Amino acid sequence: MFCHKCGRELNDDVSRCPFCNADTSAYLKDDDSSLREILRLSEELNEESDTATDSSGVEIDTDGEGFTEPLTEPLDTPDDEGEEWHDCSVTESLEEDAHQLRKEFDTSDGFYIPKVAAIKAGILPSEEEQTEVLQEETAEVVDDSQEEIQEEPEQQEDIQEIETIDAEEEPEEEEYVDETEEFISNYVPINEIPEEEPEEEREIDEDIDYEDGFVASYDDGFTDNGYSEERVPEEEFYDEEFEEIEEEEPEKPKKKSGSKKRYVVIPVLIVIVAAAGWFGLSEFVINSSASEAISAFADKKYDTAASIYNESVKNSPIQMWIFEGKMNSYIDEVLNEHRDKVLSYDEAKIALNSVIALDDDRFIEKAKEALETIEALEESRAAYAAGQKYFTNGDYIAAAKEFDKVIESDPDYSKAVASRDRSYEKYKEDILSRTSGCETVEEYRAAIELLNEAVENLPNDTELKARLDNCKEGLEEAVISETVESANSLIDSGNYKDALSLIDETLKEYPDNSTLLNLKSSCTDSYISSSVSQAQQLVASEKYMDAIDLMDSMLAQFPDNETLTNCRNECVNAYVNAAVSSADEFMDAGNYETALTVINKALNDLPDNSTLLNKKEEIETNMPVSLMEECPPTDGTNLKTFTNSSTSSFKIDGKTYREGFTLYSSNGWFASGNGVANMKIGGGYSRLTFNVGKVDGGKDVNGVLNVYVDNELVDTITISSDSGLQSFEIPLNYGSNLRFELSPESGSSTPTYGFTNLTLYK
């Protein structure tokens, strides 16, 4: 609130101003209900008396139609002859109510209501309550004014000159009259009803005794819309000495004769105006709807606060002006109370969301920023609490990370920084303790894993880095030692392959370790030597492909090894030589088919071997063919042919044959002669083999077979009739025509002889 006398800002709980000792216990209320009550009381008073007459006999209109001009003097007998009137132009809360009241109590210079009505409505304190303060101030002003008038006796008859002297020589207490008027004009808007032309100033009756209860009207400094074009800064108004403000003097009224008393009262009235203005303004601010809304916010009655704001504040420029300043202070207070843990997070959040819900651009952004602030602080507090919990549980790095999330605006920030540093210290101590005394590979690996994480968390800690380097060196020594021991054990058991795998795996981690490289070279030589020896044993056992496969697997591991390459070639040659030798034996025995089978099997294992390919070609070239398939008999005497496709057959010694031919001879009277078979062999064969025997059922007579090649006798064969199936070979000399001629060895005829398995050889 503000002092109604000196204008300085005061605390709400003081009863006297510490600067000027003025009584500040009484205030002018201003809210919508009070204004409506004033209007009602004013109408009741007007109905009781249609007119009122002041002490000088001037009739005053009180019938509710409005006054033609404002009262300029208080009434001597307010209860009997008239009423004192109070200026309410500084107590407007809503423009609509002010507009209505002004229409009811219209004046040209201000907004007035009967003071009796104001006192009855509880808006002003009673006269008894004001007497103490006003008597003291009035007496002082009157004494000073009388002294001034006595010093200038010749000016007592001239009103204009007296007023000039009063303005120049008035005491300091009177100097802020104009300042107050200008402050009220600049800071308290009035309604927008155009001001009427002021009526001629009423004459001042010298016989009227001026008392308190009169308030001068103010109409200077306002624009069309009811606001001052220029505002005096608040701090300038309060802090500077009240200097005399020069204004254009209004047109002076016609000089009247009268006693000194009528002029002495002017300073008194000015003081009263200032006091009443400050009194009303302070009471207006304190008891305004804006203040009620803020109080509801402070009491956490957010629905009530929103209702007051929507109904009585947001549509009133004055109320909104007061509300905006108080709301900004309220938001700051919520922030401070949450920071000091007076308000919980949920309480502060509800309070700020209630402000945001008003959806007013004048303070919504500040409320949103405040909400973000408390949310950040709440997260910071949660991080601090989590850090303490982690620290208690021994999870120091997690604790440090949580403490690091605490923001600088958090009251616990300094504690969090200290706790974070302590957490890192404890974490380091724990890591160094857990990574000391390593001996085995597993222990070193676990220590290195811990130290790698520790160095990542504390990258600038040299002690942790040194411990990490030492553990890495210790791990290498332990790994190499274990690898060498295990590899030698495998080598001793002949498991060279697994030994090399173990060495290679360790070399991936330590590729430049000389111990491992030397061990690998030695193991490789032993492995190759052992493999070659094993392959040679397989070849000796005629397991040629097993030996070759062994060498191939070794060459897959050591592709450029000359020893393995030579051994493989030896194994291949041994296999090929064995296959060719076997095929030759079968060919020499005339068993070309078996020889070809042997070569084809070897080619299946070694498909690209040139020696085997050549041998196969040789066998196929010399492979015998069936005479009955290639060049069966074309004609003859006493000849009968048989093929596999025919259904006829012949038997020799009880065995049935379906391929071949039969001959018989018959000499004598009317006989057909010897048996003859002619065949065209084409000149591509060197020899012929065949089997011959007496067909079952014939008589036992030996036969004589003459063989002709190109009509030249090449062989004569005696066929025994009782010897069963007999084998013969005759040269063909690559002749083109072959002829068999059968005759009896004795007698005139022979039994039937069957020829089968006739084979031509190239």
> Does one domain contain both 55 and 154?
yes
pLDDT tens-digit series, residues 127-164: 565 556 556 655 654 555 555 445 444 444 444 444 44
Q: Is residue 45 part of a domain?
A: yes
Q: Is residue 435 part of a domain?
A: no
Q: Does residue 415 carry a pLDDT above 90?
A: yes
pLDDT tens-digit series, residues 560-619: 899 999 999 999 999 999 999 999 999 888 788 899 999 999 999 999 999 999 999 888
Which single residue is written with the structure tokens 């919990």? 389
Among the candidates 475, 495, 512, a domain finishes at 512
Q: Is residue 522 part of a domain?
A: no
pLDDT of residue 698: 77
Query: What is the number of structural domains in the chain?
Result: 5
Q: Does residue 278 carry a pLDDT above 60?
A: no
pLDDT of residue 17: 75
pLDDT of residue 426: 93
What are the angstrom distances between the C-alpha of 645 and each of 505, 628, 642?
A: 70, 11, 8
**Which amino acid is residue 494, in one-letter code?**
G
Q: Does residue 91 carry a pLDDT above 60?
A: no
The dihedral region occupied by 122, where left means phi > 0, alpha psi between -120 and 50, and beta the remainder, is left
Query: Which of helix, strand or coil describes residue 324?
Result: helix
What are the angstrom distances between the C-alpha of 127 and each of 30, 78, 130, 131?
A: 19, 12, 5, 6
Can you tell me the distance from the alpha carbon of 614 to that of 599, in angstroms, rounded to the nearest whole number?
10
Q: Does residue 668 carry a pLDDT above 60?
A: yes
Q: Is residue 599 part of a domain?
A: yes
Between 554 and 157, where is the model more confident?
554
pLDDT of residue 538: 94
> Does one domain contain both 487 and 570?
no
- Residue 485, domain extent: 441-512
Q: Residue 687: which CATH number?
A: 2.60.120.1060
> Does one domain contain both 57 and 185?
yes
Q: Is residue 681 part of a domain?
A: yes
> Does one domain contain both 332 and 218?
no
**Mean pLDDT calculated for residue range 249-270:** 47
pLDDT of residue 422: 95
pLDDT of residue 336: 94
pLDDT of residue 683: 87
> Does one domain contain both 451 and 573?
no
Among the candidates 305, 328, 362, a domain finishes at 362
Task: State both tokens at 757.
Answer: 């398995």
**Which amino acid is residue 615, in one-letter code?**
K
8 A C-beta contact, residue 581 and residue 550: no
**Mean pLDDT calculated for residue range 278-298:** 69
Task: State both tokens at 195.
Answer: 């001001």
Q: Does residue 671 carry a pLDDT above 70?
A: no
> Does one domain contain both 282 and 329?
no
Q: Does residue 86 carry a pLDDT above 60?
A: no
pLDDT of residue 342: 93
600-630 in b/e form (b: 16+ CB < 10 A) is: eebbebbeebebbeebbebbeeeebeebbeb
> Does one domain contain both 160 and 309?
no
> Does one domain contain both 163 and 70?
yes
8 A C-beta contact, residue 90 and residue 188: yes
Among the candidates 320, 343, 362, a domain finishes at 362
> Does one domain contain both 616 and 748?
no
- What pTM was estimated for this model as a whole? 0.40
pLDDT tens-digit series, residues 210-237: 444 333 333 443 334 433 334 434 444 3
In sequence order, the β-bridge partners of residue 639 are 663
Q: In sequence order, what are the residues at sequence separation of 6 or more whose Cβ sits closer than 8 angstroms to the Cβ of residue 686?
A: 731, 732, 733, 734, 761, 762
Q: Is residue 677 part of a domain?
A: yes
> Does one domain contain both 38 and 176?
yes
pLDDT of residue 127: 56
Share of the chain above pLDDT 90, in %: 45
Instruction: Give the orientation angle of helix 562-588 with respect to helix 592-605, to 10 degrees.
Output: 170
Share of the chain above pLDDT 70, in %: 63
Count of all residues that appear for the chain in the document:
762
Q: Is residue 26 part of a domain?
A: no
pLDDT of residue 284: 44
> Does one domain contain both 175 and 299?
no
Which single residue is written with the structure tokens 């008239």? 82
pLDDT of residue 646: 75
Strands 703-709 and 737-744: antiparallel
pLDDT tens-digit series, residues 352-393: 999 999 998 888 999 999 999 999 999 999 999 999 999 999
pLDDT of residue 414: 94
Between 688 and 747, where is the model more confident?
688
The average confidence (pLDDT) of the chain is 74
> Does one domain contain both 356 and 503?
no
Q: Is residue 119 part of a domain?
A: yes
pLDDT of residue 368: 94
What are the DSSP calls for 684-703, one per residue? --SEEEEEEEEPTTS----E
